[in-house]
Amino acid sequence: MVDIVQNIWSVAKKLFSLRKKLSEADRQKRIDIAEYLDTVSSILQEVHDSLKNDIVPHGKCKELDHYAKKMPTVITKDMVEDVQELSDMLLEAHTVEDDLWEYLNSAEDKVRELQKIEEAAGWLRGMATTIRAGGKP
């Protein structure tokens, strides 16, 4: 089984490490990337909040699936060489309703796993702000 939490965390961490490069895009591209990152961040935050309260995050699988597939059209290969790999990792982790729900209910450290999801959401949210503000006019 895919380690959903680790995949989400790894994708966010990798994108966060590339924030300077993404900030160098032209203004409209930065806005598009920032909106994308804000949306994915919001989805992850909602997943975290639901799971923390023992509520299945209904509908979030499809949302995450959609945005995982959309990643290479927003963050292009000329900006991030391994964007397709990141997109695939996020796509593999999109099953937050069933697989993640089951995993967390049997996890040794549910709190730590939830913290990793919230941390990933925070990285993406912060990145969106940085990218929106940086770069070319």
Please state the φ and ψ torsions of residue 53, each to the nearest 5 degrees: -95, 15
Confidence class for position 71, pLDDT limits 50, 70, 90: very high
Q: Which pTM value belongs to this model?
A: 0.93
Percent of residues, the chain, with pLDDT higher than 90: 72
Structure tokens at 19: 């924030």
Work out the average pLDDT over 91-111: 84
Confidence class for position 70, pLDDT limits 50, 70, 90: very high
Is residue 37 helix, strand or coil? helix
Please state the φ and ψ torsions of residue 83, each to the nearest 5 degrees: -60, -35
pLDDT of 68? 96
Is residue 26 within 8 A of residue 111, CB to CB? The reply is: no
Is residue 130 helix, strand or coil? helix
Percent of residues, the chain, with pLDDT higher than 70: 96
Is residue 4 within 8 A of residue 99, CB to CB? The reply is: yes
Structure tokens at 86: 């990141």
Print burial letters for 93-113: b (CB count within 10 Å at least 16), e (below 16).
bbbbbeebbebbeeeeeeeeb
Q: What ranges do the domains of the chain cover?
A: 4-133
**Which residues, 6+ apart, have CB-to-CB distance to 60 below 8 Å?**
43, 46, 47, 50, 96, 97
More confident residue, 54 or 101: 54
